[in-house]
């Protein structure tokens, strides 16, 4: 699903968080929103999904203007923290969120078993969330976001706290989803994750300072390290000072 963000502004109280953001995200790509903490990544995601209103500008997803409730059934959202019910088991959490998406029970059961296998949680599906480790919660949270096979997947820092073996597995699966036509939007502040993505935009202090394919972005840097992009921008010093 193609996402078009047009001149979006957002301020909380006095602080301008997003300034004139315009961005197009193409169908069937893994798009990475890169930025330091506090740069407005999560705010942008929330606006895109219609959780919070933008001050002005517009967002359309697949040609439909946000906010739209039906659009939410095409989206899978994984928030930054786990957002799972501690008192419920892994399976019950999945079942609850699939119920909100109105999935059929038989379809849910088949899908859920397959999903848990991918995130390597099949063995402990009856474990309560409060007994799970941080990494396990992250994986379950990802499974919850995927349960209704969304066409657009929005992942807020999906691989923080996940070990390297599983991280590779998750990326492989995300790429497989992309090949099936799913659009995936990922935010991260870990630069090494970016290389897994197709396109990337760099967000700093509410501005998009670069947006291109990851390949091109890396070619722009002197040493192939995408982190350099944050230092190449001559505005950086002034804006840090203003904060």
Partner 1 sequence: MLSIVKRILGQMKNDKRSLGLLLFAPLLILTLLFFILGDSNYLPQITVVDMNEKFVTELENHATVIAVTEKPGAADYLEANGIDALIWTDTTDTHIDLLEKSSKSAAALEAIQETNKALQPSQNELIIDYVYETSGDNQLDSLGYIFLGVISFFFVFILSGMSFVRERFGQTLERMLMTPISRIDVIGGYTLGYGLLAALQSVVIILYAVYGLQLQVEGSVALCTLVMILMAFSAVSVGALVSIFANNELQLVQFIPVIIIPQIFFSGLIPIDTIPFGLGNLCYLTPIYYGCTALEMIMIQGKGFSEIWPWLLGSVVFIGVLFLANVIALKKYRRL
**Residues 152 and 181 sit within 8 Å (Cβ to Cβ):** no
**Residues 135 and 161 sit within 8 Å (Cβ to Cβ):** yes
The C-alpha R_g of the chain, in whole angstroms, comes to: 18
Q: Helices in 81-232 by DSSP H: which ranges? A: 90-100, 105-118, 134-146, 164-179, 191-194, 214-220, 228-232
According to the binding rule CB under 8 A, does residue 84 interact with partner 1? Answer: yes
Run of H or E residues at 241: helix 236-242
- By C-alpha distance, which of 149, 219, 199 is closest to 34? 199
Give the count of residues interacting with partner 1 (CB under 8 A).
Answer: 33
According to the binding rule CB under 8 A, does residue 85 interact with partner 1? Answer: yes
Stretch that binds partner 1, among 61-69, 206-214, 219-227, 232-240 (CB under 8 A): 61-69
Q: Which x/- pattern over 127-166 shows residues binding partner 1 (rule: CB under 8 A)?
A: -x---------------x----------------------
According to the binding rule CB under 8 A, does residue 70 interact with partner 1? Answer: yes
Among 11, 36, 65, 100, interactor with partner 1 by CB under 8 A: 100
Find the binding residues for partner 1 in span 32-51 (CB under 8 A).
Answer: 49-51
| Of 137 and 211, CB closest to partner 1 | 137
Q: Residue for token digits 């949270």? A: 141
12 CA to centre of own chain: 22
Q: How far is the CB of 95 from partner 1 (least distance, A)?
A: 8
Say how far apart CA 177 and CA 184 lie, in whole Å: 8
Stretch that binds partner 1, among 19-27, 67-75, 161-169, 228-236 (CB under 8 A): 67-75
| Of 126 and 242, CB closest to partner 1 | 126
According to the binding rule CB under 8 A, does residue 60 interact with partner 1? Answer: no
């Amino acid at each position: 699903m193609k996402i078009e963000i047009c001149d979006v502004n957002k301020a909380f109280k006095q602080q301008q968080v997003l300034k004139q953001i315009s961005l197009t995200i193409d169908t069937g790509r893994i798009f990475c929103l890169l930025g330091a903490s506090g740069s407005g990544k999560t705010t942008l995601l929330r606006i895109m999904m219609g959780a919070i209103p933008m001050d002005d500008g517009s967002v359309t997803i697949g040609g439909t203007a946000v906010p739209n409730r039906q659009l939410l059934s095409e989206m899978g959202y994984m928030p930054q923290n786990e957002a799972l019910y501690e008192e419920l088991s892994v399976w019950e959490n999945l079942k609850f969120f699939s119920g909100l998406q109105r999935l059929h029970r038989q379809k849910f059961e088949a899908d859920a078993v397959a999903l848990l296998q991918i995130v390597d949680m099949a063995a402990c599906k009856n474990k309560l969330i409060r007994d799970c480790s941080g990494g396990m919660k992250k994986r379950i949270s990802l499974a919850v976001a995927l349960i209704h096979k969304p066409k657009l997947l929005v992942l807020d820092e999906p691989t923080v706290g996940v070990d390297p073996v599983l991280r590779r597995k998750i990326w492989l699966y995300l790429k497989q989803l992309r090949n099936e036509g799913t659009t995936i939007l990922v935010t991260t502040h870990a630069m090494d994750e970016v290389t897994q993505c197709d396109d990337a935009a760099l967000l700093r202090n509410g501005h998009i300072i670069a947006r291109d394919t990851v390949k091109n972005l890396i070619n722009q840097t002197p040493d192939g390290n995408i982190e350099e992009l944050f230092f190449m921008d001559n505005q950086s010093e002034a804006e840090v000072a203003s904060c």
